Every structure is written in structure tokens, then in C-alpha cells.
């Protein structure tokens, strides 16, 4: 029973972080048709900015986090304006954008490395203490992460489902030409999606950094996992990504517990490969995006 609770807690914490990261990626993937290899960089940037704001500017947590998130959103917007938008016209956009974002990721990681060094700073955001549930110690930190994830996912859900902006994003993801014909300013939608994606990645990164430490390459592994989650869920299906993220986090915790940390990921990967062979378009995916 104790192990179950332990696994559940760590699993759900992971799920929460992955869900936010994956949703951001799914939005980008769905609306713009791009595989954002700089997603991990957004995670790292958000964390380091938050860290800097707290330690250098002495700002309190409730100020630092939103600021870092907004800044990451702006970075996402910039990436769209300066890079993605220029590349849309090229027929090989899908390949080229992967390379461009790889370049961005390298630039970002090494800029962080040069600025901060590789020292594994601790994010000064830890909530001390916890409570006991049937003998197991559950840190408040984890609960906070889980709660924040739920709230944020809910907000994104409302944004997508109930607002005009959300409808525009969904329409653009489903059929860009049709959206244009409805008067949806698709270019603006793209910009919004990239900004939101940056914000979500930042939150995910900040959460992650409270459990582990800061490092320039901290976004790499989470990014791979986000990719996997989104692919298994299916192109651009945000709700699907959410559910698969939950499953993934729990599975990872179970695998880590059963097979050890080293083998957990490769085994997960095998599972993923199998599922992608079974369902090449993802579990909840449908037809591919109509890229003009």
C-alpha cells in the first residue's frame, strides 16, 4: 500500500509537469505543424529567468514566477516573429524548422552555460514540509505542483473551449484554409500559440527545477518526453495529450520503481515505438494537418 502511494505521488507530480509541457507542444504542433526542438530551451529559460529574478532582484515568489512566465511567452513570440514566420513559405518548412529550432536550442543552452556556468543551482522556491498519509511522507511541494498543474490545465481548457481566441486556435489547427475563410487571422493565431507554448513550458520548467536542480540542459530529457506524449496522443489533440501525459507520468514512476531509473526510459520508449506502430497517427489523432 505504501509503495502504491509513493508511486502515485511521484507519478502524478511528474504527470502534472509533463502535462503542461506537452500541452504547449501539442498546441504548437497542432496549429503550426512544427516540431519545436527548442521547447526544452523554453523550459530552461523560464527556470533560469525565475531564478535570476528571485536571486538578483530579490523579488518574491508570487512576482517572480509570473514575470518569468511572461518573459518566456515573449521569447516564444519572438521566435515566431523572427524565425518561424520567415520560414513558412519554403516548401521544406517542416524539415527546416526542426533544424532552425535545433540551432536555437544550441544557442540557448550555450548562452545559459556561458552566463551561469554549469553549477547546479537550486531554485529558491521550495515549499518546506509535508504531511503523512498512511505512514508515507508527502511533501507539500509535490501537492503544490500537482495543484498548479490542474489549475493551469483547466485554464488552458477554458481558453480553448470557451473563448473566441480558443476557437480560432482550434479552427486553425484543424484546417488552416477553412479558418482563413472564416476570417480568422491565422498569423496572429500562430503568434499567440507560440507565446502560450512558451509560457506553459516555463511553468513546467520552473516546477521541474524545484524538484531537481537548474542546469543548461535541464530541458532536454523533458522535451523528449513531451514529444513522445504528444506523438502518442496524436497530432494536435490537446485533451489527448493531457491524458497521455497522466498515463506517462504514472508509467514512468512505476517503471522507475520496478526496473530502476536507468532502464525505465528505454523500456518506456519500446512501449512508445510499439504504440506508434499500432497507431501511426497517435491514439486520439485523426487526419494529418492540411499544410498549404
Partner 1 sequence: MVRNRTHIPQLSPIGCDFAALLAITAIGIALPFFVESRYFLSQLTLFLIWATVVSQWNIVMGFAGIFSLAQMALFAFGGYFTAVLGKYFGVNLAIGTFIAGFATVGVSLIIGFACLRLRGIYVALLTFAITQTAVLLVNSDTACIIGTGATCQTLTGGQRGLSQFGDYGFRELLGRDYQIGNFYVALATMVLAIGLSILIVRGPLGYAFRALRDNEAVAVSVGINRYKYQLLVFAASAFVTGIAGGVYAAHFKVVGPSILGFPVMAFLVSMLVVGGLGKLWGPIVGAALLMLIDEQLKDFAEYRNMGLGILIVFFIVLAPDGLVGMFEKIWQLLRNRRPQREDNNSAGRVAAKKGTLQNFEGN
Partner 2 sequence: MGESFLTLKNICCGYNSVDVIKGVSIDIPRGAVVGLVGPNGHGKTTLLRAISGLVRLRSGSIKLRGETISELSADRVVARGVAHMPQGDLVFPQMSVRENLLMGAYLPAARADSAKQLEYVHNLFPKLSERTEQLASGLSGGERRMLGIGRGLMTKSELIMIDEPSLGLAPLMIEHIYDVIRALKAEGRTLIVVEENVSRLTDLADELHLLDDGHVVWSGGGADLMSDDVLMKTYLGG
User: Which residues of the shown chain bind partner 2 in the complex (CB under 8 A)?
Assistant: 91, 164, 167-168, 170-171, 174-175, 177-187, 286-287, 290, 292
* Closer CB to partner 2, 86 or 258, in the complex: 86
Give the 3-state secondary structure of residue 237.
Answer: coil
* Closer CB to partner 1, 2 or 94, in the complex: 94
Specify whether the CB–CB gap between 35 and 24 falls below 8 A.
no
* Closer CB to partner 2, 1 or 181, in the complex: 181
**Cell 501537492 found at:** 143
Residue 252 interacting partner from partner 2, partner 1, none (CB closer than 5 to 8 Å by kind): none
Specify whether the CB–CB gap between 189 and 271 falls below 8 A.
no
Residue 178 interacting partner from partner 1, partner 2, none (CB closer than 5 to 8 Å by kind): partner 2
62: cell is 508570487
User: How far apart are the C-alpha atoms of 104 and 20, rounded to whole Å?
Assistant: 21
Residue 2 interacting partner from partner 2, partner 1, none (CB closer than 5 to 8 Å by kind): none
Residue 99 interacting partner from partner 1, partner 2, none (CB closer than 5 to 8 Å by kind): partner 1
Specify whether the CB–CB gap between 36 and 29 falls below 8 A.
yes
| Cβ 135 to partner 1 shortest distance, Å | 32
Radius of gyration of the chain (CA): 19
24: cell is 504547449
* Closer CB to partner 2, 96 or 175, in the complex: 175
* Closer CB to partner 2, 39 or 170, in the complex: 170
CA torsion through residues 151, 154, 156, 158, sign: negative
Residue 185 interacting partner from partner 1, partner 2, none (CB closer than 5 to 8 Å by kind): partner 2
| Cβ 229 to partner 2 shortest distance, Å | 19
Give the 3-state secondary structure of residue 195.
Answer: helix
Specify whether the CB–CB gap between 71 and 85 falls below 8 A.
no
* Closer CB to partner 1, 93 or 239, in the complex: 93
236: cell is 494536435
Residue 280 interacting partner from partner 2, partner 1, none (CB closer than 5 to 8 Å by kind): partner 1
User: How far apart are the C-alpha atoms of 152 and 138, rounded to whole Å?
Assistant: 22
Specify whether the CB–CB gap between 216 and 118 falls below 8 A.
yes
Contact residues: partner 1, CB under 8 A: 29, 33, 35, 37, 82-83, 86-87, 90, 92, 94-96, 98-100, 102-111, 113-114, 217, 220-221, 224, 227-228, 231, 262, 265-266, 269, 272-273, 276-277, 280, 288
Amino acid at each position: 500500500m505504501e509503495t502504491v502511494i509513493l508511486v502515485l505521488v511521484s507519478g502524478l507530480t511528474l504527470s502534472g509537469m509533463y502535462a503542461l509541457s506537452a500541452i504547449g507542444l501539442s498546441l504548437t504542433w497542432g496549429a503550426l505543424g512544427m516540431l519545436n526542438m527548442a521547447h526544452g530551451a523554453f523550459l530552461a529559460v523560464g527556470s533560469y529567468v525565475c531564478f535570476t529574478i528571485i536571486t538578483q532582484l530579490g523579488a518574491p515568489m508570487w512576482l517572480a514566477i509570473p514575470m518569468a512566465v511572461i518573459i518566456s511567452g515573449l521569447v516564444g513570440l519572438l521566435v515566431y516573429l523572427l524565425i518561424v514566420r520567415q520560414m513558412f513559405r519554403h516548401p521544406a518548412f517542416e524539415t527546416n524548422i526542426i533544424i532552425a529550432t535545433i540551432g536555437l536550442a544550441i544557442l540557448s543552452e550555450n548562452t545559459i552555460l556561458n552566463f551561469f556556468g554549469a553549477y547546479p543551482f537550486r531554485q529558491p522556491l521550495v515549499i518546506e514540509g509535508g504531511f503523512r498519509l498512511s505512514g508515507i511522507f508527502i511533501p507539500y511541494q509535490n501537492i503544490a505542483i500537482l495543484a498548479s498543474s490542474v489549475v493551469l490545465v483547466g485554464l488552458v481548457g477554458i481558453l480553448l473551449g470557451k473563448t473566441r481566441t480558443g476557437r480560432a486556435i482550434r479552427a486553425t489547427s484543424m484546417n488552416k484554409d477553412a479558418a482563413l475563410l472564416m476570417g480568422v487571422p491565422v498569423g496572429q493565431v500562430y503568434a499567440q500559440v507560440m507565446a502560450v507554448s512558451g509560457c506553459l513550458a516555463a511553468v513546467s520548467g520552473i516546477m521541474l527545477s524545484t524538484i531537481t536542480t537548474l542546469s543548461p540542459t535541464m530541458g532536454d530529457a523533458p522535451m523528449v518526453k513531451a514529444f513522445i506524449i504528444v506523438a502518442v496522443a496524436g497530432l494536435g489533440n490537446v485533451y489527448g495529450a493531457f491524458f497521455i501525459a497522466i498515463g506517462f507520468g504514472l508509467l514512468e514512476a512505476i517503471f522507475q520503481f520496478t526496473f530502476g531509473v536507468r532502464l525505465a526510459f528505454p523500456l518506456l520508449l519500446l512501449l512508445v515505438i510499439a504504440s506508434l506502430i499500432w497507431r501511426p497517427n497517435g491514439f486520439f489523432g485523426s487526419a494529418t494537418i492540411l499544410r498549404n
